[in-house]
Amino acid sequence: MPSAAASSPPVSLARRIGLFDATMIVMGGIVGSGIFMNPYVVAQQVHTPFLILGAWVFGGFVALAGGFIYAELAFLRPDLNGQYAYLREAYHPAVGFSYGWALLWVIQTGGMAAVAVTCAHYAGEVTSIPLSDSALAIVILLFLTFVNCLGVRLGSALQSVLMILKIGAIFALVFAGFYFGHGVHLHLTPLIDRPPSFSLLESVGASLIPVLFAYGGWQCASFMTSELRDPRRDLPRAMVLGVLGVIALYLAVNLVCLVMLGPEGLAHTSTPASAVMERALGERGAFWLAAAIAVSTLGFLSHGMLTAPRVYYSMAKDGLFFSSVGWISPRSQAPVVAIALQGILASIIALSGKYEQILNYVVSIDFIFFGLTATTLFVFRRRNPAEQSYKVPGHPFTTLFFIVSCWLVVIATFIHDPRNSFIGLGFMILGIPAFFFWQRRRIV
């Protein structure tokens, strides 16, 4: 007679995410606290409304091209869980492992630690909780870890609520600026601030770096493929709808900043959203902006805790990580060990105070894998040449446009900050011997 454990079916991830929650996950992966501050960085490089808004439109096109690519990848391979699996299946398990390794030790964990401390700082200003920023950051991370361990439905519901609050905060900023503020007359001419030259091209290129950084994050929704009710239908739609929604939000924020502050004022204000709210609402504006940033950063952390652990879970199921990380709770049907691992590592980094250094070299590695993942579309199309009902518009030109844009960002970051970029590259390369260690361990 087989035992009860042997006769019971294996526990799997629960398919409980629909189109709305998937769209909120796409948007939640993009919109963080950066949009409240980054507009001034762009205005420091290019100095006319046409070029400033044009940089954000161009960044939106890059993100939309990426969304189309990941949407087709999801349609072609709905059985795969995002970037890790695309790279593993298209090239070699070592390539996918290197991405998961970098995500755990650099990209996701370091970013979450930095954002958690930012979230704690602004939450402390709003609530006057008597805790240090690091201590409150750990409380926030552990709370989100607990919530996501209770199941994907609760985790995605929390993420959706926080994304709606983020959208509301951005709408409030735009409404307050236009309705209560006293702005400047915005001139759309001249289109450029100097004659066409290499210097102008260099400035435009520099302005695009923070823009493309701000648009990153939509790809994380693909980590949840195994938990979408209908991934072939819903993930492509969520990718496109989510990116289009963020483009609209970002353009609205930049437009209100330009109207309220003017191009020159925007370039000389390191906290443009705060300046807009103070002009519109006085001292109350600073309080409400702090609340908006706290909500926005909390939403980013909730998104990271929901999505990234699915990569570590997939690595463990492939025998390339601790087997316990692939354990699913029979009660919540969530990869609770992978979620706890993410929360604990982010908490340690937040407590150590090394998060700022780690955040400096997150970006170059992230964009290496963006471009590399996009190249897998050529591989999967060649393997499956049959006609598909969903295809990337303008392929191969739009796909190549996205790949080149990503790798130009990588080149720019290595030129701008070579030390930290090479540190990040070193972490990524360490994934290769780690892969062979786990592969050997699996064979033995």
**pLDDT at res. 354:** 65
Q: 15-378+393-443 has which fold?
A: Amino acid/polyamine transporter I (1.20.1740)
Domain boundaries, the chain: 15-378+393-443
For 21, the token pair is 């929650």
**pLDDT at res. 6:** 44
Give the Cα separation of 46 and 43 in Å (integer): 5
- Provide the H-helix boundaries in 215-319: 231-267, 272-281, 283-307, 309-317
* For the chain, counts of helices (H) and of strands (E): 19, 0
Beta strands in 94-136 (DSSP E): none
Give the Cα separation of 347 and 110 in Å (integer): 10
**pLDDT at res. 444:** 54
CA dihedral 274, 279, 280, 285 (to 10 degrees): 40
Burial string for 143-177 (b: 16+ CB within 10 Å, else e) reads: ebbebbbbbbbbbbbbbbebbebbbebbebbbebb
444 residues of the chain, pLDDT tens digit each: 344 344 455 666 667 788 888 898 888 888 877 788 789 889 998 989 999 999 999 999 999 999 889 888 887 887 777 889 899 999 999 999 999 999 998 888 888 888 888 888 888 888 888 888 889 999 999 999 999 999 888 888 898 898 898 889 889 889 988 888 676 667 676 777 777 777 787 788 778 878 887 888 878 777 777 788 888 788 888 988 999 999 999 999 999 999 888 888 899 887 888 888 888 888 788 788 888 888 888 988 998 898 889 899 989 988 989 989 999 988 888 899 999 999 999 999 888 766 656 666 677 788 899 999 999 999 998 887 765 667 888 999 999 999 998 988 888 778 877 887 888 888 889 999 999 998 887 765
